[in-house]
Amino acid sequence: MALNATAPADVDRAGEILTDEALAAIESLHRSFAGRRQELLGQRDTTANSACTAGIGEQELIGLAHHKAGAPPLSTPGGT
């Protein structure tokens, strides 16, 4: 697979960033992780669909994900 990248015209020195070596590194990462990435995205869709069916709102789902990851609780609007 060959990667082609284009940068908006207003990005100065894009050619110095999007070098052949940089694009090859991105391509290598894609080859290594694309399958797992797709698997995780599919799991996320399944979880979101299940939550929707169960009547769990988006904020509750995000809070649950933070809790499962061991992150501190999210603040809610109004500071509660």
pTM here is 0.47
Buried b (16+ CB within 10 A) or exposed e, 19-36: eeeeeeeeeeeeeeeeee
- Residue entry with tokens 């990435």: 37
21-57 confidence digits (pLDDT tens): 988 999 999 999 999 999 988 887 777 777 677 777 7
For the chain, report the end-to-end CA distance as a whole number of angstroms: 50
**Tokens matching residue 39:** 């698997």
